[in-house]
Amino acid sequence: MSDLAAHVVILGAGHAGGTAAALLRQYGHTGPITLVGAEPLPPYQRPPLSKAWLKGEADADSLALKPLEFYAEHDIDFRPSTRAVEINRGERTVRLSDGAALTYDKLILATGARAIALPIAGADLAGVMFLRTAADAELLKATIGPGKRLAVVGGGYIGLEVAASGRALGAEVVVLEREPRLLARVACETLSTFFRDYHEQHGVTFDLGADVAGFEGQDGRVTGVRLADGRIEPCDAVVVGVGAAPNDEIAAEAGLETARGVVVDLEARTSDLNIFAIGDVAHRPMPIYDRMFRMESVPNALEQAKQVASAITGRPAPAGECPWQWSDQYDLKLQIAGYAFDVDQILVRGDPAAAKFAVFHLKGDQVQSVEAINSPPEFMMGKQLILSRRPVDKARLADPSISMKEVAA
Amino acid sequence: MAKITYIEHDGTEHVVDVKPGLSVMEGAVKNNIPGIDADCGGACACATCHVYVDEAWREKTGSSSAMEESMLDFAENVEANSRLSCQIKVSDALDGLIVRMPESQH
Ligand SMILES: Cc1cc2nc3c(=O)[nH]c(=O)nc-3n(C[C@H](O)[C@H](O)[C@H](O)COP(=O)(O)OP(=O)(O)OC[C@H]3O[C@@H](n4cnc5c(N)ncnc54)[C@H](O)[C@@H]3O)c2cc1C
Ligand code: FES
């Protein structure tokens, strides 16, 4: 059987899985495609859930990657509200939660990641929420509003986006963060301070160095967050945003190699020739940094969807891309390219006080990553510099009177 | 509904009906038209939804914002009629719009 006629089974109907199904058809795959998704909705975009959608600026239709009819029209057997429970690699079958079994020629794991829960008292109280799915977002939106006090546990990007949207919806917002600064894992001091000031100007309060010990409740509903030092932050709702863990158990149980995610190569292929893994669940090589890691971003899900669709339809692998992501908070546009690995110098270009600046992270004279606030040229050129590994003149890079085109020239 | 013609770099034409209110980018993505990647889903953050607006339609599609302008400045093969298709809102006034796609979005 030629590969174009193979039965491709995709587990997980999120951004990565949905895009892979559509790309397979775009690339000429003629064989059956089955897309199995645990959620009731067809594949949709998560980024607006903490931003435009939460603020009421985007509707459900605009969240969907493709309209529901798309799947039938393109002969993609979409099975919503169905979970894959076991992979049998010997028989090439997948057992589903509804009892059905599917036989595959090629299997794509696109099961994503799930929000990490806090194993503390009161975590099961009503009003203690996560933000990972459209259903989570619906619940959150129905809970917050004017006169409500929202506590956000975790000062990472999702937590800060929720804080900004919460303010836009008229809620009081307090962000509780264990580290002494915001975005401690992902951003430098300049950016942490900038975001803290900006959010405070918009009425968000912060409790940094706050060790969350439990949730207080009444009649089954959360009423406050208890800190290790005994203090209680009263609230009507909590969003826990402390990171995500890959849904790789089903792969590990089937004997596939895993390491904080399912291990794959640049074709998104796992240790089994007929099985691929893409998106948040994959632990992938990143050649520009000469290492492997797991990324949680839409561009990563899209890049790997292209890799797998190319591999299955016999196209050459797509050119490597620079990893990147974005975040919208208030009127700020934050664009991040690359990751700050092995950085020995940080350079700020522009003026944080004017909310228009970029932070470059350098290793020697190479750009490892850039965080650009309201600065598209720095982001776009930074992305190219990261990918090309070209050396930069640091004095010129630090001088905003020299355009990014000239810096890179 | 507005009829929009998307022309791939190799000349392949796709004519689809797009609901007013959606963006020109969403019209392409929801119809699985190749050539518009739209990595950021319309957040004006990626410049992978670059199109050339047909001369006759340039005025009707309006002008780009400062943010769009500076993103486009760094995209490849930019021309005077380049736009980010996620920043063009479809309305009945755009019935008949023609856009062409660049050779690559990256
Ligand atoms: C609130 C929020 C905001 C974000 N904002 C941004 C942003 O601004 N920029 C950015 O780049 N990225 C952002 N991200 C990250 C981005 O959404 C993810 O990286 C992306 O969704 C990953 O796609 P995926 O398909 O790998 O996983 P997902 O989109 O999570 O999809 C996985 C799907 O698989 C299903 N599934 C799991 N196990 C099984 C099983 N056994 N059987 C069947 N189905 C299963 C899940 O239910 C889920 O529907 C955000 C994420 C969230 C939650
Ligand atoms: S879709 Fe990203 S800029 Fe238009």
- List residues bridging with A293 in a β-sheet: A284
Whether chain B has a CB inside 8 Å of the CB on A178: the answer is: no
Nearest by CB to A381, from B34, B45, B74: name it.
Answer: B74
pLDDT of A20 strictly over 70: yes
Structure tokens, B67: 């943010």
pLDDT of A201 strictly over 80: yes
The total of other beta-carbon atoms located within 10 Å of residue B77's CB is: 11
Complex ipTM, two decimals?
Answer: 0.91
Which of A15-19, A241-245, B101-105 is predicted with the least confidence, judged by mean pLDDT? B101-105
Give the ligand at the shortest distance from the Cα of A11. 1
Distance set, CA A330 to CA A188, A223, A333, A336 (Å): 20, 27, 8, 17
Contact status, residue B13 vs residue B7, Cβ threshold 8 Å: yes
CATH of B2-100 among 1.10.760.10, 3.10.20.30, 3.30.70.260, 3.40.50.300: 3.10.20.30
Per-residue pLDDT, averaged over A70-99, amounts to 97
CA distance A78 to A80: 6
Structure tokens, A170: 């008229």
CA distance A70 to A72: 6
pLDDT of B106 strictly over 90: no
* Fold held by A331-408: Enolase-like; domain 1 (3.30.390)
Output DSSP code: residue A254.
Answer: T
Model confidence at A395, pLDDT cuts 50, 70, 90, reads very high
Residues A165-196: pLDDT tens digits? 999 999 999 999 999 999 887 788 899 999 99
Chain B contacts of A64, Cβ < 8 Å? 30
Residues A210-235: pLDDT tens digits? 999 999 999 999 999 999 999 999 99
- Burial label for A185, CB within 10 Å (0-12, 13-18, 19+), is exposed
* Residue A218: per-residue pLDDT: 97
Helix (H) or strand (E) holding A79: strand A76-79
Among A170, A175, A169, A123, residue whose Cα is nearest residue A152: A175
**Percentage with pLDDT > 90 across chain A:** 92
Residues A27-72: pLDDT tens digits? 999 999 999 999 999 999 999 999 989 888 888 888 999 999 999 9
Domains in chain A: boundaries: 8-114+245-313, 128-242, 331-408
With CA atoms as reference, the chain A residue closest to B22 would be A62
CA A216 to chain centre: 30
Model confidence at A409, pLDDT cuts 50, 70, 90, reads confident
What is the CA(B44)–ligand 2 centre distance, in A? Answer: 4
Cα dihedral A284→A136→A95→A26 (10° resolution): -60
Domain A8-114+245-313 in this protein, CATH class? alpha beta
Q: In terms of pLDDT, which residue wins out, A289 or A58?
A: A289
* Residue A114: per-residue pLDDT: 97
Cα dihedral B97→B16→B99→B64 (10° resolution): 70
Among A49, A88, A34, residue whose Cα is nearest residue A250: A88
Task: State whether the beta carbon of A298 lies less than 6 angstroms from ligand 1.
Answer: yes
**Percentage with pLDDT > 70 across chain A:** 100
User: Helix, strand or coil for residue A107?
Assistant: strand
Query: Comparing A8-114+245-313 with A331-408, is the CATH topology the same?
Result: no
Residue A274: which region, alpha, beta or left (left: phi > 0; alpha: psi -120 to 50)? alpha
Give CATH superfamily name and number for A128-242.
FAD/NAD(P)-binding domain (3.50.50.60)
Nearest chain B Cα distance for residue A65, angstroms: 7
CA distance A268 to A265: 5
Cα dihedral A216→A218→A220→A225 (10° resolution): -20
Chain A contacts of B24, Cβ < 8 Å? none
- List residues bridging with A217 in a β-sheet: A222
* Residue A282: per-residue pLDDT: 98
Binary contact (A377, B70; C-beta < 8 A): yes
* Residue A58: per-residue pLDDT: 84
Nearest by CB to B40, from A64, A326, A377: name it.
Answer: A326
CA distance A263 to A347: 34
- Residue closest via CA to ligand 2's atom 3 equals B44
* Residue A1: per-residue pLDDT: 43
Model confidence at A376, pLDDT cuts 50, 70, 90, reads very high
Structure tokens, A399: 């001088």
Structure tokens, A366: 């190479």
Per-residue pLDDT, averaged over B71-79, amounts to 90
Contact status, residue A240 vs residue A118, Cβ threshold 8 Å: yes
Residues A300-333: pLDDT tens digits? 999 999 999 999 999 999 999 999 999 999 999 9
Contact status, residue A376 vs residue A337, Cβ threshold 8 Å: no
Q: Which of B26, B48, B89 to mutate to test the pocket of ligand 2 (most atoms within 8 A of CB)?
A: B48
- Residues with beta carbon inside 6 Å of ligand 2? B 25, 38-40, 42-49, 84, 86
Residues A119-169: pLDDT tens digits? 999 999 999 999 999 999 999 999 999 999 999 999 999 999 999 999 999
Nearest chain B Cα distance for residue A67, angstroms: 7
Output DSSP code: residue A206.
Answer: E
Output DSSP code: residue A116.
Answer: P
What is the CA(A283)–ligand 2 centre distance, in A? Answer: 26
Residues B9-64: pLDDT tens digits? 999 999 999 999 999 999 999 998 999 999 999 999 999 999 999 999 999 999 89
* Residue A19: per-residue pLDDT: 97
- Residue closest via CA to ligand 1's atom 18 equals A297
Contact status, residue A240 vs residue A153, Cβ threshold 8 Å: yes
Structure tokens, A59: 């509707």
Contact status, residue A8 vs residue A34, Cβ threshold 8 Å: yes
With CA atoms as reference, the chain A residue closest to B69 would be A376
Contact status, residue A367 vs residue A407, Cβ threshold 8 Å: no
Contact status, residue A211 vs residue A178, Cβ threshold 8 Å: yes
pLDDT of A2 strictly over 70: no
CA distance A69 to A16: 19
CA distance B6 to A117: 45
CA distance A130 to B25: 30
Output DSSP code: residue A53.
Answer: T
Supply the pTM of this predicted model: 0.95
| A70 CB-side CA count, 13 A | 23
- List residues bridging with A225 in a β-sheet: A215, A233
* Residue A27: per-residue pLDDT: 94
Chain A contacts of B70, Cβ < 8 Å? 376-377
Task: Render the burial of A261-271: b for 16+ CB within 10 Å, e for the rest.
Answer: bbbbeeebbbe
